[in-house]
Structure 1
Amino acid sequence: RIIGGRPTQSGKWPWIVAVLNRFKEAFCGGTLVAKEWVLTAAHCVRKRLYVSIGEYNLSLHEGTELLMKVKRTVIHPKYNSETVDNDVALLRLPKPVPNDVHSGIACLPRPRQHLPIKRLCTIVGWGKRSTSDAYGTDILHEAQVPIVSTQSCRVVYEDYYITGNMFCAGYRKGRMDSCSGDSG
């Protein structure tokens, strides 16, 4: 769950998918960017992965879900697991998502598109509700957080290497944020 967030409406984010481990447990999220491709974080990649498309409540079978085993993973060639620079990966699905599945393709930004400072953006996920929780939530949650300048981000995260490939979003006091399980 998103810290400080609220449950979304079912079907509101049709391009958001749950990324599942070999035991078919959700541990990351992803975005359907084409009929056969899911964008996620490189640190979410495992040897065997599944995705659940059309997912909303992980504990219920609602009839909108389509479970697919990931056919191939493509991690960014310059991904650095220590600095998490270029923390992106593509997951190739075994076949195109059928039109009748409750899903949609995300609209992608233009290359080098400017992100206005303080503009609110929406984060979604099934991650933890607080850092002390053992597990994430079953229902997809959302919250709005502002884009933060790279300079301000570097001041707050002085122990981390914030590169030009990254952007920061959130509140300094942390009232709303993503958490473990929201990656991707």
Structure 2
Amino acid sequence: MTGNEFSLDEEEWRAIRDYADRVEVVVQAVEWDGTVLDEMWVIQSDGAAWERDWLLRRVEQLGHGGGCCGSQYFLRVEESRQRWGADATVMAFILGLAFSSMQAGVYDLLKVLAKDMAQRLSESGRVGWELSDDEAARIASLRVATHYDINADQLVVKSVETSRDSTATVEITGPEGVLFTVALQMIDGACCLQRVKRTQP
């Protein structure tokens, strides 16, 4: 490398491409005409312990549904890298499925995927994520603010209920009285499975 030139060999590039500080798999309920409905499921992990293509393949398989979710879907991959001040890399796999397909069994498939992701994270030493009341409220509020593009100052946490089995339910009100119900389940202290439902007043 000379002057302003910069190059990466295959191993260096693979390490950058597969690295993430946060990974999200987002499954949205969609009408057959493409309208996105008021329900979604999310797997969130703080970090990655897999090749990017491994997860992309698994999400693609969710679209095909293993026999339960049909083959009509959209899949979008979003990625952001920041090397300015506090470095951060976020990777999101956004899958749109027909609402009837989601009801048919995609939650069970998502839970299997979350288990597999958590196992890989555990093997790399990334465990210990606990679901306290404060953490549940933080995760739920951030999910609602980010997904629905609402200023966090406009959200009010109405209630938080956590259980010993690493699950929680958070109710949040937003502008004009819209109610968001976020169900959380911590998977092996490494991944957080989330179900978000929006109810109009």
TM class by shorter chain equals 0.3 to 0.5
Larger gyration radius, structure 1 or structure 2: 2
Structure possessing the higher relative contact order (Cα contacts under 8 Å, 6 or more residues apart): 1
More helix by share: 2
Q: TM-score, normalised by structure 2?
A: 0.31
Q: TM-score, normalised by structure 1?
A: 0.33
More strand by share: 2
